[in-house]
Amino acid sequence: MSRQVVIILHNAMEAAGLRRVIDDTFGIDAHVLHTIDQLLRLPADHIDVVVTDAQHFVENLRTFLPRKARTIVLVDKPALGDGDINIVDTLHGTEPIVDALSAFLDEKDDETSASLLSQREIEVLRLVASGMINKQIADTLNISINTVLTHRKNITAKLGIKSVSGLSFYAMMNGIIDPK
């Protein structure tokens, strides 16, 4: 499965330079985007990491907060993070950025080997998070209620989340659904 790194920075030269560093270091052709709308058009479950600057992050909090687990925010001065947002200081060259990306891409390899959720489980999770009951999910996906229950059991086992609210929160934080 190919890896997807998305870069969205205000400075086009920095974006081009970072794209080159990612290609040289990881052999990944990162996508440079110019607007948040372009990011929103990409399927969230196909993006491994988004690299952005603090200005884009702050201006588009509603877009980035649900994706913060897969977002690296570049800053040009030492910053204190709350540990919840991946902040990388760019004053000391490319090494901190490469280290941060390595951690994300290594984590993605672990997730792939652990096989988190199948595409169908993601569809079921999306519908559960949208408030549908099992019967509605079965009708929407043209599957039996028993199949829906099996998918829900597998999702719960893989994620360790039992409540609908917990599953909804997981879906929101991982970009499976958009917060409303």
The most distant pair of C-alpha atoms in the chain lies apart, rounded to whole Å, by 56
Same-domain check for residues 159 and 104: no
Encode burial over 22-42: b for 16+ CB neighbours within 10 A, e otherwise: beeeeebebbbbeebeebeee
Give the count of beta carbons closer than 10 Å to the beta carbon of residue 80: 6
How does DSSP assign 90-147, residue by residue? Answer: -TT-SHHHHHHHHHHHHHHHHHHHHT---HHHHHHHHHHHTT--HHHHHHHHT--HHH
Q: Do residues 47 and 4 touch, judged by C-beta distance below 8 A?
A: yes
Q: Supply the pLDDT for residue 162.
A: 84
In a domain, 179, yes or no: no
CA distance 118 to 59: 33
CA torsion, points 68, 71, 77, 83, in degrees to nearest 10?
40
Write out the residue range of the structural domain in which residue 169 sits: 119-173
Q: 90, 114, 138 — which closes off a domain?
A: 114
Q: 97, 114, 131 — which closes off a domain?
A: 114
Q: Supply the pLDDT for residue 29.
A: 85
Same-domain check for residues 45 and 100: yes
Same-domain check for residues 99 and 131: no
How does DSSP assign 8-52, residue by residue? Answer: E-S-HHHHHHHHHHHHHHH---PEE-SSHHHHHHS-GGG-SEEEE
Q: Supply the pLDDT for residue 112.
A: 44
The 8-class DSSP code of residue 84 comes to: S
pLDDT tens series, the chain, 180 aa: 467 899 999 999 999 999 999 888 888 889 999 888 888 888 777 788 999 998 999 999 888 888 888 899 998 877 665 567 888 888 878 888 888 888 877 765 444 433 578 888 889 999 999 999 999 999 999 999 998 998 998 888 888 888 888 888 888 887 788 776
- Residue 73 has, within 13 A of its CA and on its CB side, a CA count of 25
Q: 82, 98, 114 — which closes off a domain?
A: 114
Q: Do residues 6 and 30 touch, judged by C-beta distance below 8 A?
A: yes
CA distance 151 to 138: 11
Q: Supply the pLDDT for residue 107.
A: 62
Identify the CATH number of the domain in which residue 156 sits: 1.10.10.10
Q: Per the structure, how many domains does the chain have?
A: 2
Same-domain check for residues 104 and 131: no
Q: Is 110 exposed, middle or buried (0-12, 13-18, 19+ CB in 10 A)?
A: exposed
Same-domain check for residues 43 and 89: yes
In a domain, 178, yes or no: no
